[in-house]
Amino acid sequence: MNESSGDPTAVNLYDGNAAAGHPSIGLMRTIRPTFDAYALDGHRDIYNPVDNIVAAVRYATATYGSPEEAVASECGGSCWRGY
């Protein structure tokens, strides 16, 4: 809700990714190359909430070890809290 306001068609046209030609898209704000690399067969619609979440979680797991570790890497430790 904080990033996309719950809108699966949200597109961020204002950050560095957008300036580089890769706007962040969907609920989890994935960029197209990341989405394409981590989407599952049969789940390749970046605007579909389930497809977007699956690709984002697979990316976080591959990059950081788990979604929790992805959050911790952003704040230097244990900082998980809900909105």
Report pLDDT for 3: 75
pTM above 0.85, yes or no: no
Report pLDDT for 25: 96
Residue 16 tokens, joined: 């560095």
Largest CA distance in the chain: 36
**pLDDT, mean of residues 65-75:** 76
CA-closest candidate to residue 13, choices 24, 29, 26, 2: 24
Per-residue pLDDT at 78 exceeds 70? no
Q: How many CB atoms lie within 10 A of CB 36?
A: 12
Task: List, for residues 1-58, the tens digit of each pLDDT value.
Answer: 777 888 999 999 999 999 999 999 999 999 999 999 999 999 999 999 999 999 999 9
The residue type at 49: P
Answer for the pair 44, 69: CB distance below 8 angstroms, yes or no: no
